[in-house]
Structure 1
Amino acid sequence: MLKKLWKSKGTRVWFFVSVPVILLFAIIFIISSAVPVIYNVFNMVMPGGGPRAIYQEGIDPIYTTEYENKAEVHEAARAVNEEICEEGFVLLKNKDSALPLYTPATEGDKAASAAPKISVFGKNSVNLAYGGSGSGGTDTTSGGFVDLYAALEDAGYDVNPTLKSFYEDDGASGAKRKGNSKDLDSGDTVILTTAETPQSKYTQAVKDSYADYNDMALIVITRIGGEGFDMPRLMTRTDGDGKVTDVEGARAGKDDHFLQLDQNESDMVKAVCDAGFDRVVVVLNTGQAIETGFLEETSGYVELKGYDIDPAKIDAAIWMGFPGETGTRALGSILNGNVNPSGKLADTYSVDFKADPTWLNFGDNRITARGEGSNHVPGGDEYVFDPDEVASHDIPGVYYYFVDYEESIYYGYRYYETRGAGNEEWYNDNVVYPFGHGLSYTDFTWTADFGSLKDATIDGKTKYTVTVTVHNDGDVAGKDVVQLY
């Protein structure tokens, strides 16, 4: 039947005329239907009531800039980074006002007539961790990074050149750490060590240099870290034959983890504290909390962990995190008094990480889809997937990740602040530096008017106003952070 119709000249003419017309109408219909949708999408994401050009001659641009080129933008970003670090670095300890140590570069009438002579300790002082991993990764090979020594010299300090050269010489002081934060999410196996120099490598010539640069000792403790990689809970490694050995620097016979001082770091801190420096300052170059009990006499930490360190000999400590390209300059400005630190901790620094309830649920939480000798799902993972479905897949080595947050919201500072309520002795025994801790070179007095919030039952709907007056009681300009809980 169709063949007969197709042989008809009229049918063929009708087909070749009608089909294009129908297709044209279909296209017009689709476009006309889509235009309102597209228009509404543009309305949502673009200001000004509809889509328009980002830049068009004679029309105000949507995006404005104060910079002429990328180089200017980069320089402005470096300045912002330095400002963030000036206000973000945390002064953890400042015994007897050990800091600031004024220099000729100190602004105002407190400038020193001569440059203080200082010694910087730590293999990682010549290999700082500048950033994290993943989206926070930092490529230090691109240039533009201000190293610690340059920043200290710019701040007016005369830095021990013998000690610096010693750390720069890997043949003398040992190899630099292999891993950087940006390596942690590469998918490759990374063995994390501090790479700190053992005291046995310090020559007499290096030690003799301390006497000429003894106004201040700056001890740098570095830990890399970032997304894609949990920090090791052990200071051991297992080879292909299953043999377990300590990683370099691990304290022999101690059940330690990566976020506490290793043997070489502990020995360095003790040696510096016993070397007769006018002041000893510890700088924590780490993006995550580490065990800091060795800084405070009242923490009981050194006795608990078996360290041969006297915290009373450590005069000051600064948390600098990951400083980015220019953050080291902020450290120099804080040390010489040009900047009064105002940063506060965003976490609780507890005495013993292993005493935290989350320790039991943290770490390698991979659960294999194959049990011993058969395809079955180990108990406890039923919240993640259907065991029957997984059992039907004979794929060795497939893992499913599962963490049971047994603590609910009570981890980190929430745990310590909640459990410590009404139990001050327990709190003091378990917390070195609380959430929100951070010292200043001046003193502040707060006066709060709680208004309608006083004695009120908070219902989650009513708005309350609390007025806080902050008064600087000292003679040094400074900033404070109002914290309301």
Structure 2
Amino acid sequence: MKYTIACFMAFFVAGGVSAQNKSEAALKAKINSIVSKMTLEEKIDMLHGNALFSSAGVSRLGIPELTCDDGPLGVREEIKRFDWASANWTTDSATFLPNGSAIAATWNPIMANRYGVVIGEEANARKKHIMLAPAFNICRMPLCGRTYEYYSEDPYLNSLLAVQSVKGIQSQHVAACIKHFAANNQELNRDSVNTIVDERALREIYFPAFKAAIQQGNAYTIMSAYNKLNGYWCSENNFLLNKVLKNEWGFKGAVISDWGGVNHTVAAANNGLDIEMGSSGPYDQWYFAKPLLAAVKSGQVPVKTIDDKVRRILWVMYHTSMSANHPVGSIATPAHAKAAYDIASESIVLLKNDNHLLPLKAGNIKSIAVIGDNAIRTFALGGYGAGVKAKYEVTALAGIKSRFGKTASISFAQGYKANYLANNTDAQNKGYDQPNQTLIDEAVALAKTSDVAILCIGSNREYESEAHDRKSLELPFGEQALVNAVTAVNANTIIVIMAGAPYDLNEIKKSNHAVVWVWFNGSEAGNALADVLKGVVNPSGKLPFTFPVSLKDSPASALNSYPGKGATAEYKEGILVGYRWYDTKKIQPEFPFGYGLSYTDFSISHFSADKSSYKKDETIRAKFTVKNTGSRYGAEVVQLYVSDPVCSVLRPEKELKAFQKVFLQPGEMKTVELDVKVGDLAFYDEGKKSWKVEAGEFVLQLGNSSRNISKTIKISVK
């Protein structure tokens, strides 16, 4: 019987592969037929923008325009075809989805996939073929203005989430455009800086999520970054685009420039860029327009190179706009709102709960003071970069009123002024960091007479923005003075921080009993927050990056490699990014990578590996039992790190290699297995240009943050 089933499965798999190969061969033949009918001028027209968010098709051959749109937070409002002004549609209100670091904080690939499906469905409703998302550059340093868009500091966590985001988007026949390739880790001088990164750091830290998104997620498009990498612009970097992306990784789709990110015609054409977007001046004068036509005619760019670009674009089209059974799409639906709520709920991180003030016991509370500008602020729009014209966005104050308003009186005080605009000069923004004593006095008076104070502080979309970096880790707008004043008069003060990147929380961590981190958390942010405060939802988020005690503790600052000298930023820390740096250098963080508390407790036991010794082509099967030892339903993220104590090269103290988010009822226990390929314990050998697993002892470390390891096992590799 076993033999029969095995034969059937082999036949089934072989048949499936054969059918797939036939389908791919047929598509290739169809594309080649179309290319053979095109003039050189028609081909060139497809390689550059013909409007702000589209590139040309060939109408006589039935090839449509290729349309794209931002972005990571949802489908942006419709703008005019040739300028950035609103088109003033009444049908383009969309779902505002939690920001990238919020998705990463869920530590749940299922949530990344649901995010992608919503993006894809809403893109279809708006007739967009490519979504410029997800963005998942490594969070190398905490000040980067786009940290809120990106995922985490860890390549493994980034990879799992990126793959699922891409699969979700593309399940709707919409292309994901993964970005920004590569080593775009600061906004300051982003369009001129030359990042110097050794190949080992590229392969181990900055490339893995892109590789996974392509090879496992089958991403249809990728966006080249603004910066130079090791001396060459990313949009014309032969090593990046041809050698690694197209040849090594087998990328079949199209490389799109960032908007205005092209610098030359011949170098970009020959070194792997396929579509030029966002350049300035008349469209027919762009680098990939008349200048490219002239370069082909003069022999500087081969016709076969042009044909390859057109084939890639057509391949993307046959998977998106020209695909069979193309979904109609839907926008701002209740189902999308539910997805936004679920992601937001799982992303919220409980940083501190010393006196068990949380969850709030609604029946015992008669008055709540909600304080802080962020309690009434929305985050769908602001600053530079993509925003969303949200159909609605529930503020923190609205969420708290909806959950507590029937049993308690709720009053509001602004507490501080967020007087900072991204497009202002430093002189115009001067004084933004000063406390407003009048507003503080009003907040204190309210807090004194309330049972509980909920203090909503942090950042906003103006302060954290594309095109600039923050200058420090300090909380903006004089917020610390407000926190100190309110806490002094009301011991039942809950600090709620809304931001997308690390801040200095030293004083808050020391002085305040309850601290909650909630991100720029989408259309349902206020409801998700209120449900966590009330205990309807047990917080399960974990930090996707390290919070340093001081900026000088972070690697780029400690090594004086940010923002760089002149136009060059040398990544001197190499592979020691994020927790790899703090753990290896024994630097105590403010909050470690992977950290987050719960309203219940968990225990981890019976940690074992299936063997004590492995060959290099085998898989380690680690097993453990996790139990909810508390009284509430909740989830723990169990994290498996691996260390290589004796190695011929520097290895980090530990590296995340697997994790599982486990949901448990009170008293429930589950046995979980995490698989790690021995090959994934390799380091990149720059001398041999290959991955290497050295024989010897490795240590498997199990815990719930990079700094809270509860179980270890030693294994050996032959």
Give the TM interval when normalised to the shorter protein.
0.5 to 0.7
Alpha carbons 2:561, 2:572 under 8 Å: kept: no
1:337 aligned to which of 535, 539, 553: 535
Alpha carbons 2:603, 2:626 under 8 Å: kept: yes
Alpha carbons 2:539, 2:598 under 8 Å: kept: yes
Bigger drift between 190-199 and 144-153 goes to 190-199
User: How many angstroms does 1:153 deviate by?
Assistant: 0.7
Counting only pairs closer than 5 Å after superposition, residues 157-196 of structure 1 correspond to structure 2 as 157=405, 158=408, 160-161=410-411, 163-164=412-413, 167=414, 176-179=418-421, 191=429, 194=432
Residues 9-48 of structure 1: CA deviation (Å, up to 9, x unaligned): xxxxxxxxxxxxxxxxxx999559x99999999789858x
Whether 1:91 aligns to 2:350 is yes
Residues 319-372 of structure 1: CA deviation (Å, up to 9, x unaligned): 1111122122111000000000000001111211123341153544473xxxxx
Q: Distance in 1 between matches of 2:527 and 2:561?
A: 36
* Counterpart residue number, 2:496: 283
* Counterpart residue number, 1:138: 387
* Local SS of the residue matching 1:435: coil
* Counterpart residue number, 1:198: 436
* Local SS of the residue matching 2:344: helix
Whether 1:407 aligns to 2:573 is yes
Alpha carbons 1:219, 1:269 under 8 Å: kept: no
Alpha carbons 2:317, 2:323 under 8 Å: kept: no
Counting only pairs closer than 5 Å after superposition, residues 255-270 of structure 1 correspond to structure 2 as 257=472, 259-261=473-475, 264-270=478-484
Alpha carbons 1:194, 1:222 under 8 Å: kept: no
* Counterpart residue number, 1:361: 560
* Counterpart residue number, 1:148: 396
Alpha carbons 1:230, 1:363 under 8 Å: kept: no
Q: Distance in 1 between matches of 2:342 and 2:311?
A: 42
Aligned residue identity for 1:276: N
1:476 aligned to which of 632, 649, 669: 632
Alpha carbons 2:459, 2:476 under 8 Å: kept: no
User: How many angstroms does 1:407 deviate by?
Assistant: 0.9
Q: Distance in 2 between matches of 1:416 and 1:87?
A: 26
* Local SS of the residue matching 1:70: coil
Q: Distance in 1 between matches of 2:552 and 2:624?
A: 38
Alpha carbons 1:131, 1:324 under 8 Å: kept: no
* Counterpart residue number, 1:117: 367
2:584 aligned to which of 396, 401, 418: 418
Alpha carbons 1:174, 1:195 under 8 Å: kept: no
Alpha carbons 1:127, 1:176 under 8 Å: kept: no
* Counterpart residue number, 1:218: 455
Alpha carbons 2:365, 2:451 under 8 Å: kept: no
Q: Kindly tell me: are residues 78 and 361 of structure 1, through their superposed partners in 2, closer, same or farther at Cα, counting changes over 3 Å?
A: farther
Residues 245-303 of structure 1: CA deviation (Å, up to 9, x unaligned): xxxxxxxxxxxx3x2136832221111111034x1211111111111222333xxxxxx
Q: Distance in 2 between matches of 1:82 and 1:419?
A: 39
Alpha carbons 1:287, 1:321 under 8 Å: kept: yes
Aligned residue identity for 1:441: Y
Aligned residue identity for 1:335: L
Structure-2-length-normalised TM-score = 0.42
Q: Distance in 1 between matches of 2:402 and 2:561?
A: 43
Q: Distance in 2 between matches of 1:293 and 1:468?
A: 35
Structure 1: where are the runs of 5+ without partners? 1-26, 56-60, 104-111, 168-172, 233-256, 298-310, 368-400, 421-426
Structure 2: where are the runs of 5+ without partners? 1-32, 44-60, 62-306, 642-718
Counting only pairs closer than 5 Å after superposition, residues 268-417 of structure 1 correspond to structure 2 as 268-277=482-491, 279-297=492-510, 311=511, 314-359=512-557, 360-365=559-564, 367=566, 401-417=567-583
* Backbone CA RMSD of aligned residues: 3.9
Residues 95-154 of structure 1: CA deviation (Å, up to 9, x unaligned): 121100032xxxxxxxx2x6542112223333354578666x3246x5511111111111
Q: Kindly tell me: are residues 325 and 406 of structure 1, through their superposed partners in 2, closer, same or farther at Cα, counting changes over 3 Å?
A: same
Aligned residue identity for 1:76: A
* Local SS of the residue matching 1:349: coil
Q: Distance in 2 between matches of 1:29 and 1:221?
A: 53
User: How many angstroms does 1:206 deviate by?
Assistant: 5.5
Bigger drift between 215-224 and 430-439 goes to 215-224
User: How many angstroms does 1:469 deviate by?
Assistant: 2.3
Q: Kindly tell me: are residues 405 and 44 of structure 1, through their superposed partners in 2, closer, same or farther at Cα, counting changes over 3 Å?
A: closer
Q: Distance in 1 between matches of 2:335 and 2:430?
A: 34
Whether 1:70 aligns to 2:319 is no
Residues 197-218 of structure 1: CA deviation (Å, up to 9, x unaligned): 4224445x66433343232342
Structure-1-length-normalised TM-score = 0.60
Residues 59-79 of structure 1: CA deviation (Å, up to 9, x unaligned): xx35476xxx5343xx33222
Q: Which has the higher contact order (CA 8 A, sep 6+)?
A: 1
